[in-house]
Structure formats: C-alpha cells, structure tokens
Amino acid sequence: MAGPAPALSGVDASPGTGFAVSLRGVTKVYDSGVVALGGIDLDVRKSEFVSLLGPSGCGKSTALRLIAGLSAATTGVVRVAHRGAQAGHSIGFVFQEPTLMPWTSVRENVRLPLKLAHMPGEKADARVGEALAQVGLAEFADAYPRELSGGMKMRVSLARALVTDPDILLMDEPFAALDEITRFKLNNDLLALWRNLHKTVIFVTHSVFESVYLSQRVIVMTPRPGRISAEFRIDAAEPRTEEFRTSAEYAGHCRAVSIALADACGEKRAS
C-alpha cells in the first residue's frame, strides 16, 4: 500500500460519493511491534450507524483513534469527509470512560470544545443548552461530575461530543461500564438522537446484542492483528424499540453475529 499517510487527509474528494469515512489498506503497528490493525478496508456512508464488534485487543479502538486523528496510520489512507474549514469539529468522540474534567461543572465540560475553538460566549451558551437538552440533562448544568451517576456522566460526555454539531460521532465502548438497565436506556436514547440528528455513528463494542440492536451494519473483527472477518446488514424496521429487542428477528441476527464472532476468534487460535 501507500506509504505513511496523514491520519486526517484532506477533504473528501467528491462530496457526491456519500461516504463519511473511508479506510483503505490501513495498518497500525505500535512502537512495541504489536500489529494492532492488519489491513482494514472500510467505507461508512453518511448518516449510517456502523458497529465495530470484536474481542478485547482486536484493534477496534485503534481504528477509531485513527479516524479521529488521535494517532496516525502506519500505512494506508484514512479519509474523513468534513465541512469546509471546521476540520476538527466534524468529529465527536465519546470515550470508554466519561472523561470529564472533575474540577468544573457539567456546563463547562460540555462547553469545552467550543471554548477551545474560541466561540463567542452567547453563541456557545445556546449550543451548550441545546446539547444538554438533547441528552436530557438540562437541569444538571450546574452540577459537578462527581455528583452524577455513571449513566448521567456518560450523557454529559455525549452532550460534549454533540455540542460542536459534528457529522461523525465516534463512540468507543461508551456504555460498557454501565449496568444493563442504564445501558438499555442509553441505547434507546442514542438511537433516538441518531434518527433525529442524522449523524454518522461508528460504535465500538464487544457486545453482540448491543451491536445488533443499534446498528444498520455490524463489522466483526478478528483479534490481533485486527482484520474485518465478517459484515452483517441489520435491516430491521425503524424505529427500533424494546419490542425489537425481544423479537425473533433480533435473536436471529444475534445468533448469526455470535457465530461469526466465534469464528473470528477461532481462526486466530487455529493459526
């Protein structure tokens, strides 16, 4: 493939293609010699909800960090479509942990991306209020992170990712540390947000059930080196609700994806 590529290379050449993110032959080798990604080709359409599913250490988080520009690909090309000059802000990132600044209020945490972009106060206030309302935390703007539950902290983190009105939302196992009840609730809220806001979402998870419930497309990855081993299209009727979660259709998808995931891990053991 091509030589070392900048992680965030240029504007999407032809906006008509409709791809939000495009990876071509992307590999990542860490300084320690660990091959995290062994050649990934992936296209994500605009407004698509895609899950990257795989066991721990399969490089799915690495792929996300490459797309975000937080680290550079060893070889290959990462293309991210963005609007005009606002390069950095077309991406929102939600980490595994809420990653909030404990020393300041929810409001200031959500405002951070705007503050770093030098957005004037009043305009920023409006955006922060909007983002907090979107995640249902309008009344908690003045609370400090330690005063919130785990689920609420994650919502703040989501509001912070939404505040710049990004085209692409990258989520790195955001709900993995939450209890199941909270996770289901946040799954539904995320789906509602996605339907209303038409963002492109790339969602990393190791839960088959979560990936099937949320995504239009599930990408199954193999453990080290991370490669794409299978891909599933989940064509369920929208909007998905708790009913879908208990349907035979959902169970069928989960079974197919689970088998593919087992295969992906098995391949690795055999070689």
Partner 1 sequence: MRETPPLAAKPPGAGNGGARLVRIILPIVVLAAGIAAWDLVVRINDIPPYVLPGPGLVFKTLIDDWSILSQSLLTTLWTTLEGFVAAAIGGIALALLFNQSKWLEYSLLPYAIILQVTPVIAIAPLLLIYLPQQTAVIACAWIVAFFPVLANTTLGLNSVDRNLAGLFQLYGASRAQTLRYLKLPAALPYILGGLRIAGGLSLIGAVVAEIAAGSAGAGSGLAYRIAESSYRLNIPRMFAALLLLSAAGIVIYMLLGLASHLLLRRWHESALGKEN
Between residue 26 and residue 45, which ones bind partner 1 under the rule CB under 8 A?
none
User: DSSP secondary structure string, 118-158?
Assistant: T--HHHHHHHHHHHHHHTT-GGGTTS-GGGS-HHHHHHHHH
User: DSSP secondary structure string, 166-182?
Assistant: -SEEEEESTTTTS-HHH
Q: Does 72 bind partner 1 (CB under 8 A)?
A: no
Q: Does 269 bind partner 1 (CB under 8 A)?
A: no
The correct pick among 5, 40, 50, 68 for binding partner 1 (CB under 8 A) is 68
The correct pick among 93, 175, 203, 250 for binding partner 1 (CB under 8 A) is 93
Least distance in Å: CB of 149 to partner 1?
14
Q: Does 88 bind partner 1 (CB under 8 A)?
A: yes
What is the β-pairing status of strands 217-221 and 19-29? unpaired
Least distance in Å: CB of 226 to partner 1?
19
Phi-psi group of 57: left, alpha or beta (phi > 0 → left; psi -120 to 50 → alpha; rest → beta) = left
- Put the strands of the sheet holding 19-29 in their side by side order: 35-45, 19-29, 75-80
**CB nearer to partner 1: pick between 101 and 259:** 101
Q: Does 115 bind partner 1 (CB under 8 A)?
A: yes
User: CB under 8 Å to 181, separation ≥6 — which residues?
Assistant: none
Peptide bond into 15 cis (omega under 30): no
Q: Does 116 bind partner 1 (CB under 8 A)?
A: yes
Q: Which one-letter DSSP state was computed for residue 82?
A: -
**CB nearer to partner 1: pick between 117 and 192:** 117
Stretch that binds partner 1, among 48-56, 99-107, 183-191, 200-208 (CB under 8 A): 99-107
Stretch that binds partner 1, among 27-35, 67-75, 131-139, 203-211 (CB under 8 A): 67-75
Q: Does 175 bind partner 1 (CB under 8 A)?
A: no
CB hemisphere CA count around 251 (13 angstroms): 4
Cα dihedral 97, 102, 108, 114 sign: negative
Q: Which residues make up the interface to partner 1 (CB under 8 A)?
A: 65, 68-70, 88-89, 91, 93, 95-97, 99, 101-104, 112-113, 115-117, 144-146, 164
